[in-house]
Amino acid sequence: MRKRLCITPLFALALSACSLTSVQEEPRGTGDLGVVIERAAGNVLIVEHTNNQAIARVEGLGDLSHASVVFSRDERYAYVFGRDGGLTKVDLLKQRIDKRIIQGGNSIGGAISQDGRLIAVGNYEPGGVKIFTADTLELVADIPATAIADGSKNSRVVGMVDAPGQKFLVSLFDTGEIWIIDFSDSAADAPTVSRFTDIGKQPYDSMLTPEGRYYIAGLFGEDGLAMLDLWNPEQGVTRILDGYGKGNQALPVYKMPHLEGWTVADNQAFVPGVGHHQVLVIDTQTWQQSKAIEMVGQPVFVMARPDARQIWVNFAYPDNQYVQVIDSQTKEVIKTIEPGPGVLHMEFTPRGEHIWISVRDRNEVQVWDTQTLEHLYTLEADNPSGIFFTNRAHRIGL
């Protein structure tokens, strides 16, 4: 209807009037957009980090108790993976749900393929991986996880990432495996799955190096990490940092840590010490621990600023009101800030001048300057949790 009006050959006035009536006044890019999860309400806020503002709220995404997001390669669509098994494709430009399916009973997260055509989801219930077309969310493959010892159900799947060569990698929490799911043979009916077993007890999450070479799963059931070199997968999974907590009684873990992206700076990787008030530093030349940095609580997210000069860390309950900043060169904490109770997630702007911090119990998203370490802006949000900016679309393993 609108289009027909537009092509009616009238005056310039008519044309401009036409453009004024359109939903979107001007064409715009999406490179400065993102979404904030409002986890209790089941909404996402569409946000814009050029002007530090929320521009729309999209409702009806179901149970977002635990949610994660990947973006289409054109940075227009956000794929939101919800706790209830919901997979929702949100159009950031039209500010509405484009498509939504319930693909499982209980999911943990997902990934988008190298070519942008496939969306993979890792599920707790039923334990396994499902793969969908990115445009229409039609099922492409359903890969059940290994059955647990008593045969009652399948292992929960965690740590889903994409990897070069049209691959997805996952870890199996209950059966201690890492799988490579390979879609590179487009002529095949089904992907090939390479299974690595006995990788360690209870992998809880994983990360991939920025070039897509090393996949590392953190272990909850023991002190250590499991590493797979994707350039040399035939060498199998090797264990690193075995027994990192030796001599220290592990503390109760009130929130499962996350490994997101690869927090590596100056050949040093920074990971949460599970059950310890420590960030562990790994020398990536030798894969040996080079330091344990004492922190104010148990780390949940350990994230490097895009230039890797700082590492920002948030914490599990009951220390989740704090964020600490580590200098990546000296490996010392340079500042402890207190954004407020319930700091759940952090996201850097693409070039790292700001960090956005969700402060659940204050119903705030705070924007901090990473150079001055000062609080700049505050956005209102209803119980915010995850913050995801569109530049993730072009990063391997996120």
Partner 1 sequence: MRYLSKRKYAVIFLMASFLFPLTSHAESISAERQATLKHLLIQDCGSCHGLRMKGGLGPALTPGDIADKPKEGLVATIIHGRPGTAMPPWAALLTDQEATWLIDQLLQGVSP
Interacting residues toward partner 1 by CB under 8 A: 39-41, 63, 65-66, 83-84, 106, 108, 124-125, 156, 173, 202, 204, 220-221, 252-256, 317-318, 342, 360-361, 383
Query: For residues 35 and 266, what is the distance between their CA atoms, to the nearest angstrom?
Result: 30
| C-alpha 64 chain-centroid distance | 14
CB closer to partner 1, 79 vs 220: 220
CB closer to partner 1, 266 vs 361: 361
The CB-of-83 to partner 1 minimum distance in angstroms stands at 6
Query: For residues 256 and 273, what is the distance between their CA atoms, to the nearest angstrom?
Result: 11
The CB-of-171 to partner 1 minimum distance in angstroms stands at 13
CB closer to partner 1, 158 vs 265: 158
The CB-of-391 to partner 1 minimum distance in angstroms stands at 27
CB closer to partner 1, 204 vs 389: 204
CB closer to partner 1, 230 vs 346: 346
CB closer to partner 1, 153 vs 239: 153
The CB-of-38 to partner 1 minimum distance in angstroms stands at 11
The CB-of-155 to partner 1 minimum distance in angstroms stands at 12
The CB-of-160 to partner 1 minimum distance in angstroms stands at 14
The CB-of-254 to partner 1 minimum distance in angstroms stands at 6
CB closer to partner 1, 158 vs 323: 158
Give the contacts of 10 (CB within 8 A, at least 6 positions apart).
Answer: none
CB closer to partner 1, 243 vs 318: 318
The CB-of-68 to partner 1 minimum distance in angstroms stands at 13
Q: C-alpha angle with apex 21: 18 to 25, nearest 5 degrees?
A: 95
CB closer to partner 1, 75 vs 174: 174
CB closer to partner 1, 39 vs 331: 39
Query: For residues 37 and 48, what is the distance between their CA atoms, to the nearest angstrom?
Result: 14
Query: For residues 155 and 175, what is the distance between their CA atoms, to the nearest angstrom?
Result: 6
The CB-of-63 to partner 1 minimum distance in angstroms stands at 6
The CB-of-317 to partner 1 minimum distance in angstroms stands at 5
Give the contacts of 47 (CB within 8 A, at least 6 positions apart).
Answer: 33, 34, 35, 36, 53, 54, 55, 356, 365, 379, 387
